[in-house]
Structure 1
Amino acid sequence: MNTLQVSTLLIGAALTGASLFAVAHTEEYFDSVESPHGGQMRMSGPYHLELVARDKEIVLYVMDHANSKLNTKGGSGKASIQTGKDKARIPVKLDQAGDNILKGTGDFSIKPETVITVFIELPGREAYSASFTPLKPKTKLAMKTKATKPQADSGNAHHHTHH
């Protein structure tokens, strides 16, 4: 491996680490910002995935960390839709439906408690997954700063000494 490749790898690793640290692509972060298509966004490996779910239809937009479209040609995916207490899962196959879109339909409805787990595989890349709760209300990031008080350790309050 020549020095150019090594330095490129190091710079890439540094940039990835820095951007993850600086922006913190957490669920709270994604739920507090407007997504490009009005869906819910999650980070999965090298991807930003945006899920737009309606009754009987799922649309998944695939982007990189800069929210630029990633071509899904030759790619595929599947979604597992879980609604209600019985935890029954409805599988939905996702096929390419545009530049950076995977889409699928099935007999399901989206409720506030619906959890959708998506698996995506693009040619020449590893498979990645992400979980979505499409009807989860948007949150304001600033309000999510609850200070957690350290719990006093009651186990050390009573010292027994034996003479």
Structure 2
Amino acid sequence: MTERSMMTTRRTLGIGLAALALTPGVAGAHEPRRGPNGGQKVDIGQNHGELVAQGGTLRLFLFDGADRPLPAAGASAQAVVLAGGRQATVALTPAGANVLAGSGDFTAARGMRAVVTLTLPNQRPVQARFTPMDQD
């Protein structure tokens, strides 16, 4: 393969990947949505997590792939929160049937971001990104 044909192949591949990322059917399949508790709900591994942020507290509601409550017993999570230009790490522990909760040194506000690492019993950790205060 010549250098010119390799460049053409790379350019075509790049354009194809950009088009795929902008395709509504593909990109919309995993878009965040509002959960039943008023938080942002996203896919986290094979399950769903709904993150509610208020003041300096996070609550992570757990749901299975069919949106049924998933028991929080034995689960743990950690959230790395970026809010107000500062980063905080928040440990989330069981605080109800299907909820993990924790508090940290941050104040929930528009523009905040959180990366949650969830570990369910006998499973590998999974991650999800949230922007819980930037919903419609």
TM-score by length of 2: 0.75
Structure 2 segments unaligned to the other structure (5+ residues): 1-24
Q: 2:89 and 2:39 mapped to 1: Cα distance?
A: 20
CA contact (8 A) 1:83 1:115 kept: yes
Q: Distance in 1 between matches of 2:89 and 2:30?
A: 26
Length, aligned pairs only: 111
- In structure 1, the residue matched to 2:104 is 106
Deviations 1:71-117 (A, max 9, x none): 12111111111024x4x320011000111111001221012110011
The sequence identity of aligned pairs, in percent, is: 32
Corresponding letter in the other structure for 1:68: R
CA contact (8 A) 2:40 2:135 kept: no
1:64 and 2:64 correspond: yes
Distance 1:75 1:65 in 2: 17
Matched, 1:135 2:136: no
Asked if the contact 1:25–1:43 (Cα under 8 Å) also holds between the matched residues in 2, the reply is: no
Runs (4 or more) in structure 1 with deviation over 2 Å come to none
Q: Partner of 1:161 in structure 2? A: none
Query: Taking structure 1 as the reference length, what is the TM-score of the superposition?
Result: 0.63
One-letter amino acid of the counterpart of residue 48, structure 1: H
Instruction: Give the CA RMSD over aligned residues.
Output: 1.8
Any conservation in 2 of the 1:42–1:48 contact (CA below 8 Å)? Answer: yes
Q: Secondary structure at the match of 1:79?
A: strand
SS at match of 1:62: strand
SS of residue in 2 equivalent to 1:109? coil
Structure 1: which 5+ residue stretches go unaligned? 1-20, 139-163
Q: Which has the larger radius of gyration?
A: 1
- Residue 52 of structure 1 corresponds to which residue in structure 2? 52
